[in-house]
């Protein structure tokens, strides 16, 4: 039934096709019904990318699809502060290869340029279960000189619309130690707020590289103030995508600064490498790092658990108390060689558009 509808609908496409092929962005700008999409592409800075060379497939929401969104969400996404989130939403509608209606099959999963998958169903033709592909309106297989456009009846919502920083971290096993620390410090609500926030998020391997016993010590109730200070040292009050980072000192929520170094080799924060960039959340951005950032601190000459027993199978460990930067390097020198291997970025395709 799907393909019979396509055959009939192809007649209606004549009104949308021009003698000279247009780019995907040109079609959004010039074809009736896509003016809001064109506005959003301009605001996101993706107009040039979708005007250039490529073999894209764009599932293009019509104007009424944007009108169905909550007004508050639309206003937020069109605010320049939230440009990375707008880009993420729009990239969730684009595939990196040309997929025509005859290539679609029921249950087909396809990876979009924001790194997330969408699912195609054909009876009726739709995406992710509820966004209809507008076959009856003749809005399929609209040929562009850099791909193909299919009109859809609802805006697709990626994780960056539905999940905040804490929710995304909690759903990713690589950040389970960080989530436990955030919970212990009582920072879950703060990091789930409106934002914008940027979190340089240590992976589990980064916490494992700390001196033995440090994490356990910091999670003790009596050390929550120190833990909170360390965690706030990983948070910046900004919506900082990797493409906007420049070398220099950046203030964090604990009042100290981190040193950001941007080079051809990647991004470093103090001595930590950014291993996964631009995990977009509804209230900010996560950049995974391979080392825990320690704020200017002085080692307190105090050993927790003074008399460990063999049955405890534990070693003494130290407590870090924010003061100065004198002694910490001595305690961590031996651990620097045990940093985790870099993860591949799930957002690498997005850099095409930066």
Domains of the chain listed by start with CATH number? 2-156 (2.30.180.10), 163-340 (2.30.180.10)
DSSP three-state, residue 75: helix
| Per-residue confidence band for 185, with pLDDT thresholds at 50, 70 and 90 | very high
Question: For the segment 260-304, what is each residue's pLDDT rounded down to a tens digit?
Answer: 999 999 999 999 999 999 999 999 999 999 999 999 864 333 323
- pLDDT score recorded for residue 20: 60
Q: What percent of the chain has pLDDT over 70?
A: 78
**Using CB atoms within 10 A of its CB, is residue 22 exposed (0-12), middle (13-18) or buried (19+)?**
buried
Q: In Å, what is the CA distance from 131 to each residue of 93, 191, 257?
A: 11, 31, 45
- pLDDT score recorded for residue 323: 40
pLDDT at 334 over 70: no
- Angstrom distance (rounded) from CA 329 to CA 327: 6
Lowest mean pLDDT among 56-60, 98-102, 199-203, 306-310: 306-310
DSSP three-state, residue 130: coil
DSSP three-state, residue 215: helix
The pTM score is: 0.79
- Angstrom distance (rounded) from CA 272 to CA 287: 11
- Angstrom distance (rounded) from CA 278 to CA 242: 6
- pLDDT score recorded for residue 297: 64
Question: For the segment 202-259, what is each residue's pLDDT rounded down to a tens digit?
Answer: 999 999 999 999 999 999 999 999 999 999 999 999 999 999 999 999 999 999 999 9
DSSP letter assigned to residue 291: S
Nearest to 82 by CA among 303, 329, 282, 261: 282
**Which residue did the predictor score with more confidence, 349 or 287?**
287
């Amino acid at each position: 039934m799907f393909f019979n509808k396509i055959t009939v609908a192809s007649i209606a496409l004549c009104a949308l096709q021009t003698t000279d092929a247009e780019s995907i962005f040109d079609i959004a700008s010039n074809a009736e019904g896509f003016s809001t999409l064109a506005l959003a592409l301009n605001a996101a800075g993706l107009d040039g990318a979708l005007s250039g060379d490529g073999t894209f497939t764009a599932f293009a929401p019509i104007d009424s699809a944007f009108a169905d969104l909550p007004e508050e969400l639309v206003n937020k996404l069109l605010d320049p502060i939230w440009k990375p989130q707008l880009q993420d939403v729009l990239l969730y509608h684009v595939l990196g290869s040309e997929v025509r209606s005859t290539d679609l099959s029921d249950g087909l999963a396809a990876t979009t340029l924001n790194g997330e998958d969408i699912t195609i169903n054909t009876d009726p033709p739709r995406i992710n279960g509820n966004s209809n592909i507008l076959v009856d309106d003749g809005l399929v297989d609209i040929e562009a000189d850099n791909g193909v456009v299919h009109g859809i009846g609802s805006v697709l919502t990626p994780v960056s619309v539905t999940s905040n920083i804490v929710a995304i971290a909690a759903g990713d096993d690589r950040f389970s130690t960080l989530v436990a620390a955030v919970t212990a410090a009582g920072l879950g609500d703060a990091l789930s707020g409106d934002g914008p926030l940027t979190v340089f998020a240590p992976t589990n391997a980064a916490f494992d590289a700390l001196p033995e016993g440090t994490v356990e010590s910091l999670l003790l109730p009596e050390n929550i103030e120190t833990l909170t200070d360390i965690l706030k040292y990983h948070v910046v009050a900004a919506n900082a995508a990797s493409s906007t980072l420049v070398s220099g000192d950046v203030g964090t929520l604990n009042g100290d600064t981190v040193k950001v170094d941007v080079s051809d080799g990647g991004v470093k924060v103090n001595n930590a490498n950014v291993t996964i960039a631009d995990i977009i959340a509804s209230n900010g951005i996560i950049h995974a790092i391979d080392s825990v950032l320690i704020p200017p601190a002085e080692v307190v000459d105090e050993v927790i658990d003074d008399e460990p027993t063999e049955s405890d199978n534990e070693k003494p460990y130290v407590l870090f108390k924010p003061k100065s930067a004198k002694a910490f390097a001595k305690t961590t020198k031996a651990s620097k060689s045990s940093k985790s291997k870099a993860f591949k970025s799930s957002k690498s395709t997005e850099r095409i558009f930066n």
